Amino acid sequence: MRVTKKKFIYLISPNKIKKSFYNELTEILKLKKVSFFQLRLKKVPLKKKIIIGRKIKKICKKYKTKFLINDDVLLSKKLDTDGCHLGQKDMGISEARKIIKKKIIGITCHNSIRLAKLAVKNKADYLAFGAFNTSKTKRTKYKADLSLLKNIKKLTKTPIVAIGGINSENYKKLLLNKANFLAISGYIWNNKKLKPVEAIKKLK
């Protein structure tokens, strides 16, 4: 999971996939700034997720972006994606490993060093922490701060994904504090001033 500093963006899908989405995703991935793309759809039937997932997989493959599925290990296996992201209430890492073997498994650790240690012990491929800022995409239940990043870095070399309300105004301090990747969604897809491609160009 080595990555150039240029590709620090971990892009999460919008909550609804519109027709224009595939073109926008193509334009974004062409910029070579995105390392991971995560499909996170909560209220969409499985059949529709499979159709959407297949289209996204083609785009991600073309632009060498890792494609991950949120919460659903079985869907990840069915679509043969690069891996999946698990929340604390989802399937455990060891169980997920049996299903998707050596694929990427990332885990939400909120703002907890205890959860991070557990995830490292279970050989998670990356640890996601947040929210570092208030987010419009997801209700902010856990608040993380920059000192947490420093503490985690002392414990492990496992890559860290920072999440929560990240935009062009606040992203740099997370990188400066050694976050490896920044998970971004609302700033790209729900930006009232900028189109998705314009928004992502501001993250340099």
HEC profile of the chain: CCCCHHHCEEEECCCCCCCCHHHHHHHHHHCCCEEEEEECCCCCCHHHHHHHHHHHHHHHHHCCCEEEEECCHHHHHHHCCCEEEECCCCCCHHHHHHHHCCCEEEEEEECCHHHHHHHHHCCCCEEEEECCCCCCCCCCCCCCCHHHHHHHHHHCCCCEEEECCCCCCCHHHHHHCCCCEEEECHHHHCCCCCCHHHHHHCCC
**pTM strictly above 0.85:** yes
Structurally, the chain folds into a number of domains equal to 1
- If one compares 6 and 145, the residue with the highest pLDDT of the two is 145
Residue 195 sits in a domain whose CATH number is 3.20.20.70
- If one compares 146 and 135, the residue with the highest pLDDT of the two is 146
Domain that holds residue 58: 5-201
Q: What is the pLDDT of residues 43-61, one digit of tens each?
A: 999 999 999 999 999 999 9
